[in-house]
Structure formats: structure tokens, C-alpha cells
Structure 1
Amino acid sequence: MSDGLFIRSTLDLARQEGLDRLDAQMLLLHALGRSPHDRAWLIAHDGDQMPTEAAARWEQLQRRRQAGEPVAYLLGEKEFGGLTLNVDARVLVPRPDTEVLVEWALELLPTPGTGAPRLLDLGTGSGAIALTVAARRPDAQVTATDASADALAVAEANARRLGLPVRFAHGAWLAAVPGECFHVIASNPPYIAEGDPHLAALTHEPVSALTAGPDGLDDIRQIVAQAPASLPPGGWLLLEHGHDQAAAVRELLAARGFEAISSRRDLADIARCTGGLWPGAR
């Protein structure tokens, strides 16, 4: 056992040192070998003394968190769309806001019994979008792409562990699936402008999955330009984007010939996703 270190005092010290209360609880549970979501156990055992090995693990986790490393990387997992995804520094940490994009995609897929709906997740990262759709719509044929072989390795491992039949393809945007057609194309591409001050808080995540040119729209421009070749008449393109980019993305879609263009808001009531219907003429 450690020298007089108790669970309650461990959490108190972490709070005094500026560690977020929920982060500290999750990391301490992880160090103790328990589920990071079992906070009721912490309350029931706050007078327990910390085992020596757990205390050592906790100290390491606390230092890494205070250095800015995401909690999801320290835990090795992140909840998304009802699934537990394994994540590490090869992929972005899935954000709850992206679930807005997933729900929209699910709404737009053809109804069950009308043939297998086809969905493409461009830039899949950990596989969050593709795997959630595959879990919710077992009848769908889901394909996921990424230009990063490392990211695909993470997504493929998640698919195997979860037993979800997603097909993966390596390549940049639509070039990864030449000649194929999908009812819905969904993407959470890089959309932060190079030099954006917010990047300072994201140094532990892969920069290639975050930034896209001087205004953050370079990758979205590519996807909008390429997507019609892979959409049937009535197919949809859905894009996640930055908090101030909805109008610009709507303009890009309109200029390319998309119709029924609209945006949807995230949990903070910010226009976070924009999509449009492809009318047919290429």
C-alpha cells in the first residue's frame, strides 16, 4: 500500500492542482483497474487507501493529463454513438457533436426493405461514423476511407472487436473508391485553418486530421467537387465543419449544383453540419 494516500485525498489534491474533477475521477478509476465510468464506486470507497501500484499509475496518468494529453488517449477508449471505440494518438478523439452528423445520415438512408443502403464515411479516423451507422443499420453496406494507413488500422481493429462488417479503403477522399456509388456520403474532414489559435490545445492529436489550408476549407472543397461522381440522383452529401463555416459550405454546395441545402446544429446550438441533395446532372 502507499504511504497514507487515500482515494478521497488523492482526488482533493488533483483538484487543488487544477485537474478537472470528472477527468480526475475517470483516470483514478482507470489506475485502480476499474471502469472509468464507475464513479459510484469512488464515492462508496473514498476512504480506501490507494494500493502502491495504482498510486504509481495514477501519478503517471495525472502528469500526462496536466501536460494536455486527452483523457481518451490515457484511457485508450472513447464512447461514441453507444459504442466504445479504442483510440490513440493515430486518430482524433471522437467528439459528441459528430453524433449530429450520424443521426442525419441515418435519417437519409433508404428505409429497410428497399434494398441495401450504401453509406460512405470519408476520413473515418477511429471509425466512429461508419461503425455507429453499421451498428444502427445492420442492413446497410458501409464503406470507410482514410488517407492515413495508421488511422485505418485503428478503425479496422475497432470493427473487428465490435463485430461490425464495415469495408475499409485506403486513399484520399473519393479517390479511395473510384467508380462506386453511395446513397449517403458523410464526412468529418479537417476544417481548422492553419495558424488557428485553437490548435495550441490540440497538440497531442494528429495535425493532418485537423487543419485544411489557410481558411480550413481546402478538404471540404475537394469533397464537394468530387462527391457528385459517387452519388445517384437523390443522393446526399453531409459535412461536418467549423463553428463559423456553415454559410461558406452552403455556398460551395450550391455552386457545385447541390439542392435542398441545409445546416444542422450541435449540442451547443452551433451550425455544425451542412448537407445537400444531388439532383442528378453531373
Structure 2
Amino acid sequence: MASTPPLRIWLYSALLAVSVVALLALQRHAPWLEPKPEPVITKHTQRFLASAYGGEMPIRVLGLGSSLLWAATPPSTMNEIALLPGISWMRMTKPGKGLGALQASLMPIENKPPNVLVIEENLLFADSTVEDQLRDDLSLLMRNVAYKVTEQAHFAPQRAYVELADQKEPLPYEEFPQEIKKQLVLKNANNLQTIFSHGTINLALTDLLQRLSQRGIHIIVLELRRSELVEQVIAPQKKRWQEQLRLALPPGPQVSYLASPQLSPQELYFDGSHMNAAGARLFAPWWQAQLQQLRDER
């Protein structure tokens, strides 16, 4: 019969667990760490919506998205769109699913809404729970330690938000050899299957979008399609999730669902999901045409 561990072992274990949680909280909230992105996002959104009101009224289109939208609309595309007459367009992005730090843009949008709000499908996932955040923080802490000990670049932790980097630079990526890329694409597809299978809808966000649509704001839910291989792998799970989304945010006169064209060659994506520079160049004229159509319909 196994002996029961001494009481002090339980006490030490509890103290260790509390210390780890405290360390993770300190890592997330310590005042000396890099500033939180929310004030930057709020001010940038306010600046765009305010500037778009001056002079002759262009159609004001604000896009919120994940890194998929960042990859598809690099600054070179943004600069081309800026030359289109009658259109004022800006997009802001964040890594991963869920609204995250872009929550800070919602109040300015409610106070002075754009004519059109484009929200990428990925953002309509419910944000991470406290348990998810602790797990992410623990992973970040471990990567920080591994990076400091080994100085290996692949351990370098990614920052959750780089202040308006998406406004200035294209999404950084690396083109991998074909065999490594194939493994990366399949791993990405398997992860997406899990996300679409277990992901829930951000009902607070869909309710807000419905209220905005009732005020005459055109809401466009944008699906940025991944490579053909990835779309085939995730199709059943993704379809069920999209059906749930349409129940929470039904299409109507002011709510539209828009899917990007399928770019078939795998070479147009660097990981099966994010477009590389070649993919973005093919995406640009389609997106410009969508914006021009929105302008002409108003």
C-alpha cells in the first residue's frame, strides 16, 4: 500500500502552484513590460473615423481581421487602395482567432461608425478563457527561458501585438523547403480542425454587429479562404461552425457574407493559410473591385 505524502509536500506543491500563477500574472500585467495595445488601437481607430469625415464624404470602410487579413493586404495593397477615388479604407489586425486587443476599436466604432465594417470570420470566435490565457502565458514563459538559455532563434517568443506593425510592414514569414512546408501545412490543417470543432461564437460581438446593422451600418463578414488542401481537410468542421455563425448573425439587407476567391496553387501560401507576397498580389485586384462596388452601391 502506497504511503500518503507528508503534509509538507502538499503545502510545498500548493505554494509552487501559487507562485507559478503569480509569476504568469506578473508577466501579463507588470507595469514595466511593454505597454498594452488597447490605447494605441483606440486612438488609431478614432483618428481614421474622424479624418474620414472631413471634406467630400468618401465611403468609409474599416476592416478588422487576423493575420490572414494582414497577409492578404500588405502595405503595398493598402497604398494602392488609398489612390482609389471616393474610398477611405483602413484595416487593423491581430494574431490568431478571437477579437482580442481589437476590442478597443469597438467603442470608437459605436460612437462614430464607418459606412461599412468588414470583420474577418476569425475574429468571431469567442476569446480565450482564463485557463487558455494561463496556458499561453506558461508557454511564453518557457519560451523566454529557453531563448535566454540557448539563444536559438526558433525559441524566440512572438509578441502578441506589435504596435501598428501591420500598418507599416508586410506580415513577416519564411518560405520553407517543400518537405518541411508539407508537414507545416498538415499540422496547420489539423490545428484548424480542432479550432473549428470546439470554437464557440462570440455572441456579445454578433449582438453588437446586429445593433450596428440596425443603425444602417453595412456589416461584411469576410471569409479569407486558405489553400485548397487545407480547405479540403477542414471542410466538415468549418461548415458546421459557419452554420452556427449564421444563426447568431443572420444575413440580411445590412449584413453580408463574403468569401475570397480560392487561390488554388499551394505556392501562393507560405503555410497553407497565410498568403505570401505572390498570393497577396492576386488578391489585391479582387479586393479593390469589392471596395469599388461598395462605393458604387451607396
TM range (shorter): 0.3 to 0.5
The structure in which a higher percent of residues are strand is: 1
The structure in which a higher percent of residues are helix is: 2
TM-score normalised by L of structure 1:
0.32
